[in-house]
Structure 1
Amino acid sequence: MHWKIVIDSADPHAQADFWAAALRYVVEDNSALIGKLLAAGAVPADLTVESHGRHAWRDLAAVRHPDDPYDEETGTGRGRRLLFQRVPEAKTVKNRLHLDLHPGAGRREEELARLERLGARMLRRVEEPSGGWLVMADPEGNEFCLH
């Protein structure tokens, strides 16, 4: 079984770049499929953009774990994936779903600095009897936690 979490986004390509770097994933390359579809006249060119020097879908971008299998003809991952889809409305309320990142014992502050360099921001520190974590936001304001 493979899965993906779909995340609404104003800029799917920027979000894919951030999360690929944050999770040490790779941005999926769908350029071979898109090239075939464009050549066959099956999709209009305005549904595509150039990203990282290759054809990409204008309104979708996905990231996958680099060790997971993927379909070589389409570039689509067959494992752990995040798919960012363009939506017209901005995020207005707290996420109903979020990612928890666990960098390993003693590495939270180092990972905080790395994620901030990538464009994330810390919203608050949480300290409870059960443990502590940081509530953070990605470049579009989606919350996630760093443990």
Structure 2
Amino acid sequence: MTLHWKLVIDAHDPHAQAAFWAEALGYVVARLETLGAAVQRRVRAAGGAWTLMTDPEGNEFCVQ
């Protein structure tokens, strides 16, 4: 059985987004903010703690 799928990433400036994510991987919240990310909220729950952020185009992601 062959599986066919397509991944589409919609970005206003794909090169800027690629540069952001290349820098972002492995960095802490303070560094991500200097790259243009914004903290939306900090979450502490029974399962752990994480920070919900948005990238420069408003896409959400979490950092533990």
Partner in structure 1 of residue 9 of structure 2: 7
Structure 1 residues 118-139: Cα deviation after superposition (integer angstroms, max 9, x where no partner): 1101000111111110000000
Say which structure, 1 or 2, has more relative contact order (CA 8 Å, 6+ apart). 1
Note the residue ranges of structure 2 that are not aligned, 5 or more in a row: 1-6
Q: CA deviation at 1:6?
A: 3.7
- The structure with the larger Rg is 1
Name the counterpart of 2:3: none
Runs of 4 or more above 4 Å deviation? none
Map 1:76-91 → 2, pairs under 5 A: none
User: Deviation at 1:13?
Assistant: 1.1
**SS of residue in 1 equivalent to 2:9:** strand
% identity of equivalent residues: 60
What is the distance in 2 between the residues matched to 1:9 and 1:141? 10
Which residue of the partner structure matches residue 133 of structure 1? 50
1:19 aligns with 2:10: no
Q: How does 1:54-133 map to 2 (within 5 A)?
A: 111-133=28-50
Over aligned residue pairs, what C-alpha RMSD do you find?
Answer: 1.6
- The aligned length equals 58
Residue type at the aligned position of 2:34: R
CA distance in structure 2 between the aligned counterparts of 1:6 and 1:125, rounded to whole angstroms? 29
- Please, which runs of 5 or more residues in structure 1 have no aligned partner? 24-102, 104-109
TM-score normalised to the size of structure 2?
0.80
Give 1 or 2: higher strand fraction.
1
